């Protein structure tokens, strides 16, 4: 066993003991052993008890543990601790600055089971109000969690996109003549694990600022940008597309006949390929699906089609900006209306609104309406769907909202029958207008609860309930592969940012990308309508 592996196991043993409130003397002894062992250059697995105890900070008990790990690869107590610790909780030890005590609180007190859930917890501003944390520590933990998540090579497109912009800026003016993004990132897939550029270069491998070459051949260079983004560069001779690229591209488009490579000289854009092939242009987002390529909808939703910002949180619950700040920013971005949809009273963890605070918020909205004469502020709520499928508040309270979004936030460990029945009962509630994040999933963090999609969508159609496309990059729920099924049944959709800050409103763009991947047309997205049509589309009668 390599020294680095053995030393990391000793540290993990100490961390898990502390996480599970083990013997403090044993924890201290293992930490002392770890501090000493990481400085040792000689092969530790070849050391006996005498040699180990000769190292400062290592006693006989620790030496026996080290020998066992070196010989067996682990020890019984370490195996026991690993078995009782969720994999996602163990993964949190990889976040710099987050030790066992904090992880224990996150896991046991806040019910956070993975790095991805921790990221979402921070994005929704729930960590800052917890004892022992705060605004600064929340931001630091968020940044370090994102850094760790991205270092594993899987990226949410929304997190990747800004880095691609920086990388492409670094390509300009060096040895690269031209470059084109291709593959998953070009198609804007929700999770990207491979970033590939086709390039025309003067020098090979090219010199690119902050790009470290890891591997190279005559036509391919693999490297790392800014130490976190793995990028593959594929050399393409001037004015001629590589055979591999053309074959791959054609497979994405229609799996059919393609022009000869020699016919592709001078092509600059992917649209030129379609022109040469005599085919109608197919947007990149559709190219994952042959059926959508064949359908190629005429009026795919575009970011500029969205007129209203639906599903936002403010300082009243777990947002970080006031209603006025949210409205001003939405107007600045060119939107015509906003729906304030703070958490309901059952969401104690998110400072959900008791009835008296609902009334207080509505008075504030009425007063602000005078300050925004050309902009509409709608009174909404994100009502928790309780375990039995009922909504928060009595009907007389629900009646005071312009519309109600129902979402599941608690008791997520359900089988398909329980989850489906719970959703359908909520959908059948007379005051339920919109279903929020249907499956409760968090990309790269948590699978959604299982749902009988057919039954839930049919219930939405029967009860005239709109389905949310939650544009939060970690949610993007419902999944784009289900959207066409929904719209074919007659379901209406709303692309919502689930914004917990004014800047979160910009996440609408990622919901639009997801909708385009799902072949969603403008006509079925109700927040592309003017405000009165938007409200009318949700009327039960």
Q: Residue 102 is part of a domain; what is its CATH number?
A: 1.10.150.20
In a domain? residue 520: yes
Q: What is the pLDDT of residue 250?
A: 52
d(CA 462, CA 206): 59
Last residue of a domain, one of 152, 178, 196: 152
In a domain? residue 294: no
DSSP string, 143-163: HHHHHHHHHTT-EEHHHHHHH
264 with 328, same domain? no
Residue 308 forms beta bridges with which residues?
337
Residue 235: which domain range? 157-286
233 with 372, same domain? no
Q: Assess contact for 290 and 307: CB atoms under 8 A.
A: no
Token pair, residue 46, equals 């070849």
Q: Assess contact for 511 and 335: CB atoms under 8 A.
A: no
111 with 173, same domain? no
67 with 99, same domain? no
The enclosing domain of 175 has a CATH number of 3.30.460.10
Q: Assess contact for 338 and 326: CB atoms under 8 A.
A: yes
The enclosing domain of 49 has a CATH number of 1.10.150.110
In a domain? residue 409: yes
In a domain? residue 295: no
In a domain? residue 297: no
Q: Assess contact for 32 and 58: CB atoms under 8 A.
A: yes
d(CA 25, CA 17): 11
d(CA 367, CA 7): 62
Q: What is the pLDDT of residue 288?
A: 87
In a domain? residue 296: no
Last residue of a domain, one of 227, 260, 286: 286
466 with 334, same domain? yes
121 with 222, same domain? no
Q: ∠ CA(371), CA(373), CA(376), 5° rounding?
A: 100
- Coil vs helix vs strand at 381: strand
Last residue of a domain, one of 286, 317, 338: 286
269 with 185, same domain? yes
Contacts made by residues 130-137, CB under 8 angstroms, sequence distance 24+ = 130/105, 132/102, 132/105
Q: What is the pLDDT along the chain (541 residues), one digit of tens a residue?
A: 778 789 889 999 999 999 999 999 999 999 999 888 877 778 898 899 999 998 888 999 999 999 999 999 899 999 999 999 999 999 999 888 889 999 999 999 999 999 989 998 998 888 988 888 888 899 999 988 887 876 677 888 988 898 999 999 999 877 888 888 988 999 899 989 889 998 888 888 888 999 999 999 988 999 999 888 899 998 875 443 444 445 445 554 444 444 444 444 455 677 777 777 677 888 989 988 889 988 999 899 999 999 999 999 999 998 889 999 999 999 999 999 999 999 999 998 889 999 999 999 999 999 999 999 999 999 999 999 999 999 999 999 999 999 999 999 999 989 999 999 999 999 999 999 999 999 999 888 788 999 999 999 999 999 999 999 999 998 999 999 999 999 999 999 999 999 998 999 999 999 999 999 999 999 999 999 999 999 999 998 6
Burial grade of 344 (CB within 10 A; 0-12, 13-18, 19 or more)? buried
246 with 197, same domain? yes
Q: What is the pLDDT of residue 274?
A: 76
209 with 315, same domain? no
d(CA 333, CA 13): 51
Token pair, residue 93, equals 């030890």
In a domain? residue 252: yes
The CA dihedral of 211, 212, 217, 218, to the nearest 10 degrees, is 40
Phi and psi at 525, nearest 5°, equal -100, 105
Burial grade of 202 (CB within 10 A; 0-12, 13-18, 19 or more)? exposed
Task: Report the side by side order of strands in the sheet with 229-235.
Answer: 176-182, 195-201, 229-235, 220-225, 211-216
Burial grade of 14 (CB within 10 A; 0-12, 13-18, 19 or more)? buried
Q: What is the three-state SS of 449-495?
A: CCCCHHHHHHHHHHCCCEEEEECCCCCCECCHHHHHHHHHHCCCEEE
112 with 214, same domain? no
146 with 180, same domain? no
Q: What is the pLDDT of residue 151?
A: 64
Q: What is the pLDDT of residue 258?
A: 45
Residue 182 forms beta bridges with which residues?
196
Calculate the alpha carbon distances from 47 to 26, 40, 53, 309, 445 in Å. Answer: 21, 11, 10, 65, 41
Q: What is the pLDDT of residue 444?
A: 82
Q: What is the pLDDT of residue 248?
A: 45
In a domain? residue 336: yes
182 with 329, same domain? no
Q: How many domains does the chain have?
A: 4
Distance of CA 357 to the CA centre of its chain: 31
């Amino acid at each position: 066993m390599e020294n680095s592996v053995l030393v990391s196991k000793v540290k993990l043993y100490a961390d898990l003991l502390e996480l599970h409130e083990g013997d403090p003397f044993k924890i201290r002894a293992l930490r002392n052993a770890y501090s000493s062992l990481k400085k040792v250059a000689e092969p530790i697995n070849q050391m006996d008890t005498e040699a180990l105890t000769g190292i400062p900070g290592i006693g006989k008990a620790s030496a026996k543990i080290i020998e066992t790990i070196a010989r067996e690869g682990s020890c019984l107590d370490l195996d026991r601790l690993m078995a009782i610790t969720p994999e996602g909780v163990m993964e949190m030890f990889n976040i710099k600055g987050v030790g066992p005590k904090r992880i224990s609180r996150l896991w046991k007190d806040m019910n956070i089971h993975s790095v991805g859930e921790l990221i979402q917890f921070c994005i929704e501003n729930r960590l800052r109000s917890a004892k022992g944390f705060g605004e600064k520590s929340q931001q630091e933990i968020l940044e370090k969690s994102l850094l760790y998540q991205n270092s594993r090579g899987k990226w949410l497109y929304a997190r990747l996109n800004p880095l691609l912009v920086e990388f492409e800026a670094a390509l300009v003016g060096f040895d690269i003549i031209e470059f084109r993004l291709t593959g998953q990132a070009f198609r804007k897939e929700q999770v990207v694990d491979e970033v590939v550029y086709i390039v025309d270069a003067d020098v090979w491998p090219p010199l690119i600022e902050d790009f470290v070459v890891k591997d190279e051949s005559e036509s391919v260079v693999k490297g790392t940008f800014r130490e976190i983004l793995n990028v593959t560069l594929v050399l393409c001779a001037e004015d001629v597309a590589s055979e591999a690229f053309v074959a791959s591209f054609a497979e994405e488009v229609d799996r059919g006949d393609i022009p000869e490579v020699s016919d592709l000289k001078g092509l600059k854009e992917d649209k030129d390929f379609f022109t040469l092939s005599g085919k109608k242009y197919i947007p990149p987002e559709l190219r994952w699906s042959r059926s959508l390529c064949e359908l190629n909808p005429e009026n795919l939703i575009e970011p500029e089609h969205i007129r209203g910002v639906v599903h936002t949180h403010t300082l009243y619950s777990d947002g970080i900006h006031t209603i006025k700040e949210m409205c001003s920013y939405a107007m600045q971005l060119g939107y015509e209306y906003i729906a304030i949809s703070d958490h309901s009273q059952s969401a104690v963890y998110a400072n959900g609104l008791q009835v008296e605070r609902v009334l207080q918020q509505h008075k504030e909205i009425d007063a602000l309406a005078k300050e925004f004469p050309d902009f509409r502020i709608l009174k909404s709520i994100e009502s928790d769907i309780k375990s039995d499928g009922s909504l928060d508040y009595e009907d007389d309270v629900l009646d005071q909202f312009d519309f109600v979004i129902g979402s599941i936030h608690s008791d997520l460990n359900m089988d398909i029958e329980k989850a489906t029945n719970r959703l359908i009962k909520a959908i059948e509630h007379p005051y339920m207008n919109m279903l929020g994040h249907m499956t409760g999933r968090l990309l790269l963090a948590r699978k959604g609860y299982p749902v009988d999609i057919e039954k839930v969508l049919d219930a939405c159609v029967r009860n005239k309930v709109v389905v949310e496309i939650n544009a939060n990059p970690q949610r993007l729920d419902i999944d784009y592969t289900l959207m066409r099924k929904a719209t074919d049944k007659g379901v209406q959709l709303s692309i919502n940012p689930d914004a917990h800050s004014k800047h979160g409103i910009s996440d609408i763009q990622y919901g639009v990308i997801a909708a385009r991947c799902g072949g969603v047309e403008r006509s079925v997205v109700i927040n592309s309508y003017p405000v009165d049509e938007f409200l009318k589309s949700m009327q039960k009668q």
